[in-house]
Amino acid sequence: MRKFAFLIIALVLVAIPVLALADTDSRRPDLGITAGDRPLDRGGDRDGAELPSYWEEYYVQDLEIGPFMGRLHEVLTNPEMLGRFPEVVSVAGYLDSLGLFNIDRCHTEYEITGEDITFTASDFFSDLDPECYYGQIMALEDRELATAKYVPGTQLLYVGVNNVPEMMMIELKSMKSSTEFVKEFTSELGVDADMDLNDMEEVFALLDAFPIEQTVNALLTGELGIVLYNLPPFEQLVLGDIEPADIEAAVMLGVRDREAVMDMVTGFGAEIGLLEREYEGDDWQYFVVNGEETIGIIFTDDMAVVTSNIDATRDNMKMALAKGGLDLEPCQMYFDMNVEALQEQLIGPAGRMAAEQLGEGIELPWEGMGYLVNLPGSDALGHFTLMTSYGNGYTVDIEMKKAVCQYMVYYGGLAACGLAQSGVFE
């Protein structure tokens, strides 16, 4: 039990910023609230009153690391320093091929106010070789995500990515470079890595022989969107009794030359079992897989959408257009997770079911842990979003609700209590 006690103490210390949410209201005399006013039924239920929470922070940091990176490069490559070791020079060469020595400044900023948490991290480069990894990455243009207008905001999950063909080629080249580095580095150490690069060389020879990237870009815009509109009930997921129509999901591809893509679909559609479907008064074009009434493809003016439930996806896309869709800044990638809906439909029920499998005699302090972290209702969770952009440095922006932190500590505490009772820490 001593280990269990230390575990709980560690959990509390790590979670102090979040646990403070349960206590700061007692230090707000302007609200007329004191510690003695806290409503807690000894049976574990609150009387329904919502305790206000206060946790506000603002932090910004700028690091000028260009001079340090220059000195690091000198140390790793100068023969009078660590450059006299071939394996160190090999590592330095690999880092240089990525462009890491060209990082000039790092900017970090976060703000915690009201019920929101925002975080921004940016890396700024100087004198990047356009052929190095980050040189190629930073050359990619931030663009508006056309798929975002087909996302209503009620979806469970949305991922939108620009410049997919270019990014794939950059990553493939980076993979080849990484593999060559590992082989060279292990050779310098006298270790046989037993790595055969012939297959990778054949792949790149094929890519060089056929202008695949150019061909794809002539037909498509390079944008990819993945949307999970809805899931079947949790009980149905557990039973595994799931049909394609039960999962309302879609994969969207931005179309540049709609006529050419349509010619390909109509030309090969019959051979692969695609049948055209019409909706009255609708100028979009629809195709379904023969024998599967819900699996199909939707063609809008600028998008080809492959879906497991063509009717539900059509309804969601039309609803999103009517509402205006998601209003996003130009970016490279955007990730949106509906934490509130996932908690209600998946995480909460899965947690309860997992608790039932812990064994006899194990009881989790659901109400006590909820009170400890001042757990709000799931409607406070909102959405978790992450966006990357390259227009002003290599930038990552994250936005979420404070409640996400509270729920993370809540489930972490419950898991620790369950493991402790099961004897894991004995």
One pLDDT digit (tens) per residue for the chain, 426 residues: 444 444 454 455 445 454 444 444 433 333 333 333 333 333 334 444 444 555 688 889 999 999 999 999 999 999 888 878 887 888 888 888 889 999 999 999 999 988 899 999 999 999 889 988 899 999 999 999 999 999 999 999 999 999 988 888 888 777 766 666 556 555 555 555 454 555 556 666 666 666 666 777 777 888 999 999 998 888 888 887 788 888 899 999 998 888 888 777 777 766 667 888 888 888 898 988 877 788 989 999 899 999 999 999 999 999 999 999 999 999 999 999 999 999 999 998 988 888 777 767 778 888 888 888 889 999 999 999 999 999 878 999 999 999 999 999 999 888 888 877 776 556
| Domain assignment present for 72 | yes
- Report the pLDDT value the prediction gives residue 426, as an integer from 0 to 100: 60
Helix axes 258-272, 212-219, angle to 10 degrees: 100
Residue 86 lies in a domain: yes
Which residues, 6+ apart, have CB-to-CB distance to 187 below 8 Å?
193
Cα separation, 411 vs 366, whole angstroms: 9
Residue 236 CA to residue 91 CA, distance in Å, equals: 51
d(CA 384, CA 404): 8
Question: Does some domain include residue 61?
Answer: yes
pLDDT at residue 45, rounded to an integer: 42
Identify the residue whose tokens are 């990082």. 103
Decide if 307 is inside a domain. no
What pLDDT sits at residue 30?
39
- Residue 199: its pLDDT value, please? 59
Question: Up-side HSE of residue 213: CA atoms within 13 Å toward CB?
Answer: 14
The span from the CA of 26 to the CA of 307, in Å, is: 52
Residue range of the domain that includes 62: 56-139
Q: Contacts for 270-278 with beta carbons within 8 Å, 24 or more apart?
A: 277/310
- The token duo for 263 is 């010619």
Residue 98 lies in a domain: yes
- The answer to whether residue 78 is domain-embedded is yes
How many domains in the chain? 1
- Measured CA to CA, the distance from residue 24 to residue 34 in angstroms comes to 10
Exposed (0-12), middle (13-18) or buried (19+): which is 363, by Cβ within 10 Å? Answer: exposed
CB 46 within 8 A of CB 38: no
For position 189, what pLDDT does the model report?
52
Residue pair 255/306 in contact by the 8 Å Cβ criterion = no
Longest alpha-carbon distance in the chain: 78
The answer to the question of residue 264 being in a domain is: no
Within-domain flag for 2: no
